[in-house]
A and B are shown apart, each in its own frame.
Chain A
Amino acid sequence: MSEQEILRKLTQILRDLLSDDSIELTMGTKRDEVPNWDSFAYINFVVAVETEFRVKFAVAEVESFQDVGAVVRRTRAMLPAA
């Protein structure tokens, strides 16, 4: 799965989570740039991503993601090679 495909899925997850179809994520998007993406919604986002891709982030990773791109890259690294 390409980074773009993963990014697209993450965008859909966040739109569903926050009920906001205007959300457009890029690799460089940071959490504070998206309205209502607070720490509680962030945990929900992480759970939804883990469920969708059947992956599990380490406790240190979840704290250290600087932008959406970091989540995309880490997710991609954990996916089984196609």
Chain B
Amino acid sequence: MYWLPVLSTPEYFRDCLRSAMGASSERIEKLASLAGHRLSFLETIQLDRAIGTACEQTPAGFSSLNVAILASSTVDHLVPAIRAAGLRRRLLLNIHVGPYGQYRQQLLDQTTPLHKLRPQLILLSLSASEAIAGVPLTASPSEADAAIGRAIDELRMLWRKARETFHATVIQQTFLNVTNPVFGSYERMVAGSPSRVIACLNDRLAQAASEDGVLLLDAAAASERDGLDAWFDVTRWLQAKMEIAPQAAPKYGELLVRVIAAQRGLSKKCLVLDLDNTLWGGIIGDDGPQGIVLGEGSAAGEAHLALQRYAKQLKDRGVILAVCSKNEPTVAEAVFRDHPEMLLKRTDFAAFVANWEDKAVNLKRIAEQLNIGLDSLVFVDDNPVERARIRQSLPMVAVPELPDDAALYVRCLADAGYFESVAFTADDSQRGEQYLANASRAALRESSESMDDFLRGLEMTVSFGPFRQVDLPRVTQLIGKTNQFNPTTRRHSLDDVTRFVTTNGCLTLQFRLVDKFGDNGLVSAMIFRPDPQTADVVDIDTWVMSCRVFGRQLEQEVMNIAVETARRMGVRAFRADYIPTSKNGVVRDLYPILGFKPLEKTWVNHGATRWVLPLSEYAPQSTHIARKSELQ
């Protein structure tokens, strides 16, 4: 957890804990700030105890989640670290640990306490020992395969049960290999050897999970990366049947909550890079293009190049890149254009800010320009003063404690896991190009006389239709990641979304926007559910739209299309809720603007409002978006 900043002294921790005893909202903020630091084993336990007593109800800006852990080994010692990691992401986790070893009964027997808790998320943390026990060393490849297949089938049965009973998201931990080799290097070639069985088990597990829409917590990969000794302590196993060592608890909690957070749209979206001594060695303003250290021929130069390569890989999987540097803009840009060793090009960056102003101001500018929250940014800078400045003035920005040695930059960024994801879609790999096109759009905006001219000049077309099988991963991802244009902030799993498509009376719509500068991809999705009392009234359960296409009149055109489609199905009215969060202020007045009327306050809670639109009264909005063929 070395990427987290350290607390000044142990006394400081105790003081913070003690001073965090006031009003509950102030208190939880203080504890959340502590959770963002590197904490010892003991400090984690203390922090957890403080969280436990901090809040009876969920304070503003935080969300609560019921999590059940079903395990075949002892996991109670992991709970404090899991809750601390949750708090690091403003998630208050209410954790239920099933009795050790009884995960099957817990799921299958309706009378267990698990069934009262109504978990929204179920983690299965199982040891490989049971599966191994079924495979003798002498097993033939096909016998070993059959036994592994049976173990996987049983897991799939448990997953199904967990989802049918609780509609919960299921996270399956991969199997740790804590066995000792009996053959040495020959181990892998013996079908029935424990190591080989576990390796096959994990492979099959990943495949089955991917098919079933189950998420993985890859403890096995982490233990290989950190070394088994960091994860497994045989003494603790013998004493208390802990398969995950107490020392690994902070990392385990962090890895688990990363997956939970990714599913809830809380992963970071944008990597903001400093230039001097970060993307290259030396200072371009002092050393000049010939003087900076970058690329082949120098070990240090290759280290900086490795960071560029890693940033490029992140970009290729959908992370937005930006530059924030104290430099002359022309000098900084020239390096990207002219330096032969530069792997990253100017066009790889969706935002490029080089000036002499305060970096906190510049980061705000970048977030604004990209239309994403400051809490979606990761700021990478070699300079500890700049890092401290940002942590202090913009605590919601993630700032890794970069090691002094540039050789370790990539490792640090990767270990910090800011960009954890639960899907990889075609939209992700094209995101870089979509942002690049934004520069052309901005230029058109500049040269247009009016907003109207600009929108007309974009030559936009929308294609639309119900969710198709092929769209479901992207739709689920959009619902999971969208925080701004999201009036209800309801998160739906792939399972849920699939169920909406197949449920009678539900209506789904997806929208793709193309303009003359490129394809923006699938940028909006709607889910309507029928009112069980009056079949011709439907609720807008979910409506999300990507922040990349705000201000293009798309919401108006979407509503035009939604109304027409619903009318054809005999729907008489739409009902819609706006549930305010700290992030969705942009849609506060969405429904009144579209002609909805306030409905009597049936359930006013935390400022939520309810709206209704009789479709007969809807006047189509005029937009500059043309309709393309419906997607079938």
- Chain A residues with CB under 8 Å of chain B are 13, 16-17, 19, 40, 43-44, 47-48, 51, 56-59, 62-63
Query: Quick check: B41 and A47 within 8 Å, CB to CB?
Result: yes
A51 touches B235 (CB 8 A): no
Interface code B239-266, partner A: CB below 8 Å = 1, 0 otherwise? 1101000110000000000000000000
The answer on a CB contact under 8 Å between B41 and A62 is no
- Can you list 12 residue pairs at the A/B interface with Cβ under 8 Å? A19-B46, A40-B77, A43-B236, A43-B239, A43-B242, A44-B41, A44-B77, A51-B42, A56-B235, A59-B238, A59-B239, A62-B235
Which 9 residue pairs across A and B have the least CB separation, nearest first? A47-B246, A48-B42, A59-B235, A16-B42, A59-B238, A43-B240, A51-B41, A19-B49, A16-B46
Q: What is the predominant secondary structure among interface residues of chain A facing chain B? A: helix
Q: Are B42 and A13 in contact (CB under 8 A)?
A: yes
Is the CB of B29 closer than 8 A to any CB of chain A? Answer: no
Q: Find the B residue at minimum CB distance from A51.
A: B41
Q: Which A residues touch B238, using CB under 8 A?
A: 59
B412-466 contacts to A, CB under 8 A, are none
Task: Report A-chain residues with C-beta under 8 Å of the C-beta of B45.
Answer: 16-17, 44
B145 close to chain A: CB less than 8 A? no
A51-B247, A59-B235, A59-B238 known; A43 and B42 CB under 8 Å?
no
Contact A48 B239 (CB under 8 A): no
Tell me the total A-B contact number using a CB cutoff of 8 A.
44
Please, how many residues of chain B have a CB less than 8 angstroms from a CB on the other chain? 19
Q: B40 near A: Cβ within 8 Å? A: yes
Check if B42 sits within 8 Å of A17, measured CB to CB: yes
Beta-carbon contact of B76 and A40 below 8 Å = yes
Chain B residues whose CB sits within 8 angstroms of the CB of A63 once the complex forms = 239
Q: Are A48 and B41 in contact (CB under 8 A)?
A: yes
Bound state CA distance, A43 and B241, in angstroms?
A: 11
Q: Which of B43, B46, B77, B247 interacts with A43 by CB under 8 Å?
A: B77
CA of A16 to CA of B238 in the docked complex: distance in angstroms?
26
Give residues 49-102 of B contacting A (CB, 8 Å).
49, 76-77
| A16 surroundings in chain B (CB, below 8 A) | 14, 42-43, 45-46
Q: With the chains together, A48 CA to B41 CA distance in Å?
A: 7
Chain B stretch 286-334: residues in CB contact (< 8 A) with chain A: none
Residue in A closest to B49 when the chains form the complex, CB atoms:
A19
Pairwise interchain contact B239-A44, C-beta atoms closer than 8 A: no
With A51-B41, A59-B239, A62-B235 known as contacts, the answer to whether A44 contacts B246 (CB < 8 A) is yes
Chain A residues whose C-beta falls within 8 Å of the C-beta of B240 in the assembled complex:
40, 43
- By a CB distance below 8 angstroms, the chain A residues around B239 are 43, 59, 62-63
Task: List the A residue with the shortest CB-CB distance to B50.
Answer: A19
For the complex, give the distance between the alpha carbons of A43 and B14 in Å.
22
Q: How far is the CA of A40 from the CA of B42 in the complex (A)?
A: 14
Q: Contacts A43-B240, A59-B235, A59-B239 hold; do A51 and B77 have CB atoms under 8 A apart?
A: no
Q: Measured between alpha carbons, how far is A44 from B43 in the docked complex, in Å?
A: 12
A residues near B40, Cβ cutoff 8 Å: 51
Give the chain A neighbours of B236 by CB distance below 8 A.
43, 47
Chain A: minimal CB distance from B456 (Å): 66
The answer for the CA separation of A16 and B239 in the assembled complex, in Å, is: 23
Contacting residues, chain B, for A47 (C-beta < 8 A): 41, 236, 246-247
- Measured CA separation A17–B40 after assembly (Å): 12
- Which chain B positions have C-beta within 8 A of A19? 46, 49
Task: Enumerate chain B residues within 8 angstroms of A57, measured Cβ to Cβ.
Answer: 235
The distance in angstroms between the C-alpha atoms of A26 and B238, with both chains bound, is 29
Q: Tell me the smallest distance from the CB of B43 to a CB of chain A, in Å.
A: 8
- Complex Cα distance, B76 from A48, in Å, reads 16
Provide the bound-state CA to CA distance between A19 and B76, in Å.
18
Give chain B nearest CB distance to A39 CB in angstroms. 8
* Cα-based distance from A17 to B239 in the complex (angstroms): 19
> Can you name 6 extra interface pairs (CB under 8 A) apart from A44-B41, A59-B234?
A16-B42, A16-B43, A17-B46, A56-B235, A62-B235, A63-B239
- Chain B residues with Cβ under 8 A from A56's Cβ? 235
List of B residues within 8 angstroms of A17 by Cβ: 42, 45-46
